[in-house]
Amino acid sequence: MNSLVKFVQDEFIEKKQFPEFGAGDTITVYYEIREGEKVRTQFFKGVVLQRKGTGSTETFTIRKMSGTIGVERIFPMNLPALQKIEVNKRGRVRRSRIYYFRGLTGKKARIKEVRK
């Protein structure tokens, strides 16, 4: 049964090519928003908290600060509205899911940048 699900996912779900990124990276996600007849592109720029799942069920969570309020958004990797993902900064963190980042403010909320 499990191999049948994997076969259907591989055959019928189209894969988009996105750059490699992980927890701690700062990325910008461009996605389409439909408002009635109009279609516009909006972006969401923030720090990746986690990547979760595999194949067609893979998702990633991004957190950004809007004023003094933290806003998180979960994006599925195979969302048809996703247009592109840009990696702005690579961050070095010691965990694959940085939920502790939610409680940090000020200088403690900085992530060490990895230079290439």
**Domain-embedded: residue 28:** yes
- Give me the pLDDT at residue 1, please: 76
Would you say residue 9 has pLDDT above 80?
no
Is 115 inside a domain boundary? no
Higher pLDDT, 112 or 16: 112
Nearest Cα neighbor of 96 from 59, 28, 48 is 48
- 65 inside domain: yes
CATH code for the domain of 7: 2.30.30.790
Distances (CA, A) of 44 to 8, 47, 48, 78, 86: 31, 10, 11, 17, 10
Q: What is the pLDDT of residue 114?
A: 92
Q: How far apart are CA 22 and CA 10, in angstroms?
A: 23
Q: How many CA atoms lie within 13 A of 17 on its CB side?
A: 0
Q: Express each pLDDT in 38-76 by its tens digit.
A: 999 999 999 999 999 987 789 999 999 998 899 999 999
Which helix (H) or strand (E) covers residue 7, if one does? helix 2-12
SS3 57: helix
- What residues make up the domain containing 72? 2-96
Higher pLDDT, 4 or 89: 89
Residue 17 lies in a domain: yes
Task: Supply the pTM of this predicted model.
Answer: 0.85
Checking if the pLDDT of 16 tops 90, the result is no
How many structural domains is the chain composed of?
1
